[in-house]
Structure 1
């Protein structure tokens, strides 16, 4: 997508899955432009005052190319960042991180209540991009619910959690500017295996969520045996024991998908899954 203009001032939901490009063919064109009342290009609050939720995913369309992707994903995000509900992807977090390091990128999410992050990989860079995004949206976020959809394919194992410390992969995440997720009451991670980097994400989130009420960890179906659940719960408790002092009344659940009766995100259709099944 190079140039999408939407004339819909009453639009409530916006979903886009594709390759978001920033056109530079003789002139600069933003990939997404919302045209508000009177067909005038103004600010996002005037263009889409009714926007409730937005879904932006680049999954399935390759990695980052600074010749064609510079500014593209973040430009699209800035147009919808005022929504109460956002679903973003790990490829998008990579784009944002690159631009954040090159520019003084400022993503304003004044209304954000629910965030879902679709992770198609879990390398060290993904962990950095994940934590960096929370630092970017700042300490005043109103975020209440966080959903993280981890990669379906296993990328390391629970046993690696103990050996990771020797390589530095298990070190706690340190931010340049500290944040507190003061309103975050619910965290849910799907495809959770207790892998090294998954536990790093937990240890990043939990100490910064002082009012957390519920943590739900949903295992992949093939790993959802009672023995695995007990092991995972023990591993989680060991790694977040310090954080638990701040939210000792929070309820922690480890379950298989078919046993999960907790709340679901607003966006439950994942377009990259449809793309993978049709290819």
Structure 2
């Protein structure tokens, strides 16, 4: 039996994780268009670390008070709380004494250091963090898939219904402000959806793949010069291909899932780069 036939025969094992990966890839790919165009890539990197920090702190508390960790609802809730709070704070930054990039960088470095310190204090749950950082999409509970689908539906609905407001506030804030649009409110809505998506999808893909999917599919779509609105669909499609294809290839070749997804997503940059180099 070939590796692919073995994969097909194990459908009961991979169908839920594969579905979760595909939905997560589509959601992050579409959101990434705003991340790339607004040049807030470092914000998404910081949020992945802040979200992971929330998880680590939850695990530390659970170990210290001897709470069972099989049910991860509390862990996810705290990770979402940290990520959403971080998204609202970082998304509202405006240059004052320090450039916004410096503050975001400080948040990323600080969160990363605290994650390392927290993990060093974990006794039983430290091995779980590897999946959160590098991706452990091989085994995703059905409950996690339901949460990912729900969050994806909410974020998609928000971006479809308020597409004009989000785009206007993001790319022409001065004019939007002059016309009475509450720019800070719509910035908060945008970063709220990003902050909500990160911890939920990180449970399936891992923090590193989540950061990659918030940048690579969107960058590849924009390099193809497909236009602003089509870029969301193209980026979502590339996210699906990278997440789904990476999952299948990692299973067949027996290599790390998250890293395979990221490598495949990076390959999608090649056509756009060649087109740009050729003057297309």
More strand by share: 1
Q: Which has the higher contact order (CA 8 A, sep 6+)?
A: 2
TM-score of the superposition, structure 1-length normalised?
0.24
The structure carrying a bigger helix percent of its residues is 2
